Amino acid sequence: MASPTHEAGDVVAHGGAAFPPFEPSTFPSQLLWLAIAFGLLYYVMNRVIVPRFHGVVETREVTVARDLDAAATAKRNAEAAGTAYETALADAKSSAQAIASKTRDAMQAEADAKRRALEDDLAERLAAAEAQISARKTEAMANVRGIAEETAIAIVERISGRAPAPESVSAALDRQAAH
């Protein structure tokens, strides 16, 4: 049976030399190629990729700045529009209140004029009616005296059988009215 230790003969038995990156004799060439690969990668990064990233970043910064400016402008415009709207709304409210007040005053004045005209018409009718009532009352009172004289004459004639003199009846009615 073979021993678990690695001996130089075992390495050769397995097919050759040790793993090349761990081979101390290849370190200088590996370091050279590492330096060349790093330099080439640095050159490509510095000349191609970094300018592209830088261009993308600058483009993004410009786009963001432009968008922020546009947003600020839109905000100012919206605020101005809001202020204009509020002003227009306040003007419309005050105008509507003024129109309503003016209309109410005009309607009140019209109603007052109609009321005064109606009151004047009613006062004229009342005065005419009172004058008519007074005239009728005077006329009726004048007729009452005549009716009273005729009635008194008729009663005395019926009771006594003879008619009294109209002057004596008139004098009696005057005495009675004086009391």
Q: Output the pLDDT for position 14.
A: 53
Cα separation, 138 vs 100, whole angstroms = 55
3-state SS of 117-157 is: HHHHHHHHHHHHHHHHHHHHHHHHHHHHHHHHHHHHHHHHH
Kindly report the average pLDDT of the chain as a whole number: 86
Q: Output the pLDDT for position 16.
A: 62
Cα separation, 33 vs 35, whole angstroms = 5
pLDDT digits (tens, 9 = 90+) for 77-88: 999 999 999 999
Looking at residue 26, the DSSP 8-state letter turns out to be G
**Considering the chain, what percentage of its residues have pLDDT values greater than 90?**
55
Distances (CA, A) of 7 to 1, 3, 26: 15, 9, 21
- Name the region of 17 (left: φ>0; alpha: ψ -120 to 50; beta: rest): beta
pLDDT digits (tens, 9 = 90+) for 29-65: 999 999 999 999 999 999 999 999 999 999 999 999 9
Q: Region 140-157: what's the mean pLDDT?
A: 82
Q: Output the pLDDT for position 118.
A: 93
Q: Region 14-23: what's the mean pLDDT?
A: 71
Q: Quick one: which of 110, 10, 105 has its CA closest to 18? A: 10
